[in-house]
Structure 1
Amino acid sequence: MLKRLSLSPQESGLLAFVLAVKVLLLLYAGLAHAVIENQSAGSLFELLDYWRRWDTPHYLQIAAKGYVAEGEARLFIVFFPMYPWLVRAMAWLVVDHYIAALLVSTLASLALALALYRLVALDYGADLAQRAVALLFVFPTSYFLHIAYTESLFLALVVGSALAARSGHWKTAGLLGLFAALTRVNGALLTALLACEAWRQWRENRLALYQAWPILLVPTGVLIYLGVNHAVFGDPLHFLEVQRGHWHKRLAPPWDGLQGAWGWVLRGDPPTNRYMLGVQEVSFAALAIVMTLISAFRLRPAYAAWMALNTLLFLSTNFMQSVPRYCLTLFPMMILLAQGFRTPMQWMAFCVGSTLLLALFSFQFSMGRWGF
Structure 2
Amino acid sequence: MVYLAIRLFGLLVLAWLSAANDESLADNLSAWDGEWYLEIASHGYGGVADSLVDGYGNRSPETPLAFFPGYPVLVQVLDAVTGMGVDAAAVVVSLAAGIAAAHGLARIGRSVGGSTGVGLLLVALFAASPMAVTLSMAYSEALFCALAVWALVGVLERNWLLAGLCCAGSGLVRPTAAALIGVVGIAALVALVQRRDGWRPLLGALLAPLGMVLYVGWVSVQTGSLGGYFALQQRGWSSAFDGGWSTGRFALETLTQDKSVLETFTVWIVLAALVLLVLCVRSRMPWPLVLFAFAVLAVDLGSDGLMYSKVRLMLPAFPLLIPVAIGLAHRRTTTAVCSTVLIVCFGAWFGAYSLTAWPYAI
Q: Taking structure 2 as the reference length, what is the TM-score of the superposition?
A: 0.86
CA drift at 1:47? 4.0
CA drift at 1:159? 0.8
Q: Distance in 2 between matches of 1:317 and 1:32?
A: 31
Q: Which residue of 2 aligns with 1:293?
A: 278
Specify whether residues 103 and 38 from structure 1 end up closer, same or farther in structure 2 by C-alpha distance, changes over 3 A only. Answer: closer
Contact 1:361/1:371 (<8 A) preserved = no
User: Which stretch of the first structure deviates more once superposed, 203-212 or 224-233?
Assistant: 203-212
User: Which stretch of the first structure deviates more once superposed, 77-86 or 205-214?
Assistant: 205-214
CA drift at 1:295? 1.9
Q: Distance in 2 between matches of 1:315 and 1:183?
A: 20
Q: Which residue of 2 aligns with 1:26?
A: 11
Contact 1:228/1:236 (<8 A) preserved = no
2:304 paired residue among 318, 325, 342: 318
Contact 2:106/2:116 (<8 A) preserved = yes
Q: Taking structure 1 as the reference length, what is the TM-score of the superposition?
A: 0.83
Counterparts of residues 324-363 of structure 1 (less than 5 Å): 324-341=311-328, 342-344=330-332, 345-363=334-352
2:293 paired residue among 298, 307, 324: 307
Structure 2 spans left out of the alignment, 5+ residues: 51-58
Specify whether residues 232 and 137 from structure 1 end up closer, same or farther in structure 2 by C-alpha distance, changes over 3 A only. Answer: same
Quote the sequence identity (%): 23
Contact 1:165/1:194 (<8 A) preserved = yes
Q: Which residue of 2 aligns with 1:48?
A: 26
Q: Distance in 2 between matches of 1:371 and 1:131?
A: 30
Contact 1:188/1:218 (<8 A) preserved = no
Q: Which residue of 1 aligns with 2:265?
A: 280
Counterparts of residues 97-112 of structure 1 (less than 5 Å): 97-112=86-101
Specify whether residues 100 and 236 from structure 1 end up closer, same or farther in structure 2 by C-alpha distance, changes over 3 A only. Answer: farther
1:115 aligns with 2:104: yes
Counterparts of residues 1-372 of structure 1 (less than 5 Å): 16-34=1-19, 36-37=20-21, 47-68=25-46, 71=50, 72=59, 74-95=62-83, 96-123=85-112, 124-198=114-188, 206-208=196-198, 211-268=201-258, 271-272=259-260, 275-277=261-263, 279-298=264-283, 299-318=285-304, 320-341=307-328, 342-344=330-332, 345-367=334-356, 369=358, 370=360, 372=362
Q: Distance in 1 between matches of 2:200 and 2:161?
A: 12
Q: Distance in 2 between matches of 1:168 and 1:149?
A: 30
Q: Deviations over 1:320-371 (max 9, x none)?
A: 3422212221111121111223423442343233223223223224427347
Contact 2:128/2:348 (<8 A) preserved = no
Higher relative contact order (CA 8 A, sep 6+): 2
Structure 1 spans left out of the alignment, 5+ residues: 1-15, 40-45
Q: Deviations over 1:254-276 (max 9, x none)?
A: 133211232133231xx42xx32
Q: Distance in 1 between matches of 2:135 and 2:92?
A: 12
Q: Distance in 1 between matches of 2:65 and 2:105?
A: 30
Q: Distance in 1 between matches of 2:62 and 2:106?
A: 39
Contact 2:101/2:142 (<8 A) preserved = yes
Q: Distance in 1 between matches of 2:203 and 2:234?
A: 35
Q: Distance in 2 between matches of 1:297 and 1:263?
A: 30
Contact 2:189/2:201 (<8 A) preserved = no
Q: Distance in 1 between matches of 2:129 and 2:117?
A: 18
Q: Distance in 2 between matches of 1:160 and 1:332?
A: 13
Residue type matched to 1:121 in 2? R
Q: Distance in 2 between matches of 1:48 and 1:246?
A: 27
Contact 1:254/1:315 (<8 A) preserved = yes
Please state whether the residue corresponding to 2:129 is helix, strand or coil: coil
RMSD of equivalent CA atoms: 2.6
Specify whether residues 38 and 83 from structure 1 end up closer, same or farther in structure 2 by C-alpha distance, changes over 3 A only. Answer: closer
